[in-house]
Amino acid sequence: MFLCIDIGGSAIKLAVLDAQANILEKGSIVSPRSSIDEFFEAITPFVMTQIKAYPIEGIAVSTCGAVDCETGIIHGSSALPYLHGPAINDMFSERFGLPCELENDANCAALGELWRGEAAQVSDCCLVVIGSGIGGSVVLNRAVTQGSQLHRGEFGYMIASYDNGEPLTFSDVASTRGLIEAAAKAINAPKENLTGLRVFEMADQGSQALQAVIERWYQHLATGLFNIQYCLDPEVILLGGAISARPDLISHLDRHIDVILQKQPVCKIRPTLKVCSAGNDANLIGALHHFLTRRALTRRA
C-alpha cells in the first residue's frame, strides 16, 4: 500500500493506492496558503490515519513546480511559494518515517496515462493540463523528459499573443483562468464571482458576449496545440484538467484546427487530440508509478 498526494494550488488530494493503482481511500483538503508548517499540519491527520490503517510502504507526491527528482527540491514558481526551496521529500520522510518520491504534476498525469490510460500503446506524446495555468509534459520513447532546466513541457510560458504591446502567455489566454478573466471583462463582472463552469453555463443560457469569449478561448487553445504538434511531432496530445471533462471540447478544438489547416495549406499534419482517461486521479496514479520506478532503480543500484 502507498500513500499518494497530489498538491495543487487550490486543493490537495490524498489517497491510499495498492501496487496496481486501485484507490482504497481518498480525501481532499484546501491547500494551505501561508507556510510549509501549515501544509504539514493540514495533511498530517489524514496521513497518520492511513498509516495506522494500512501497511504503507512509501509516499508518492505529485506537485506543482519544476521538480528535481534527485534532490526533492521544487524549482520555478507556483501558487504555493513555500514549496520552493526546501528538499520536500526529506521533509516528508523525516515527519512520517517513510521513503518519499516527488514528481511534477503534469509529468505524473503523463505517467498515469502511460501506465493506465490513453497513452498505454503510445511511444511519444504530449500532455497539456488546462487549469488555473497551463502545464504539460513531453514523453519520448515512453519516458517523461525533463529538459536541461527542468522546464520541458511548460507550455504555459509560450508567448501566444500581445495586448497593447504586452506579451501574453499561453496560460494567460488559454487556461481556465484566462477564460474567466476574459469573461469578466466582457460582461463587466468581478472575476471572483465566476468559474469556468459558470462561464459556460451563462453562454449556454444565451449570453452572446460569453459565447464570443468562449469561441476566442477555443481558438487560442487550438492554436497552441497546433504549435505543440509542429514543434514536437507527438503521436497524440492528451488533454487534462477539469475542463477537459466537457464532452464537446475535442470537437470544438478540431473545428478550429480545421480552420488553421484550410488557411495554411502548406501544413499537412493534423494533431490527434484525446482526453486523459484517468481523469482527476491521473496525478495520483502517475505519482505511484514514479515512486515504484524510482524505488526499483534504487534497489538495483
Question: pLDDT tens digit string along 65-89?
Answer: 888 989 999 987 788 899 998 999 9
Which residues does residue 6 pair with via DSSP β-bridges, in sequence order?
Answer: 13, 62
Domain 2-109+280-300 and domain 122-276 have a common topology: yes
110 within 8 A of 137, measured Cβ to Cβ: yes
The CA-based angle 163-166-169, given to 5 degrees, is 85
User: 3.30.1330.60, 3.30.590.10, 3.20.20.80, 3.30.420.40: which CATH number matches 122-276?
Assistant: 3.30.420.40
pLDDT tens by residue, the chain, 301 residues: 999 999 987 789 999 999 999 999 999 999 998 899 999 999 999 999 999 999 999 999 999 888 898 999 998 778 889 999 899 999 999 999 999 999 998 899 999 998 888 888 999 999 999 988 898 999 999 988 988 888 888 999 999 999 999 999 999 999 999 999 999 999 999 999 999 999 999 999 999 999 999 999 999 999 999 999 999 999 999 998 888 889 999 999 999 999 999 999 999 999 999 999 877 788 999 999 999 998 875 554 4
Domain boundaries, the chain: 2-109+280-300, 122-276
pTM over 0.85: no
Cβ atoms of residues 82 and 269 within 8 Å:
no
**Per-residue 3-state assignment (H helix, E strand, C coil) for 42-109:** HHHHHHHHHHHHCCCCCEEEEECCEEECCCCEEECCCCCHHHECCEHHHHHHHHHCCCEEEEEHHHHH
Residue 3 CA from chain centroid, whole number:
19
Collapsing DSSP states into helix, strand and coil, what is residue 37? helix
Q: Please state which CATH number belongs to domain 2-109+280-300.
A: 3.30.420.40
Cell numbers linked to 43 = 495533511
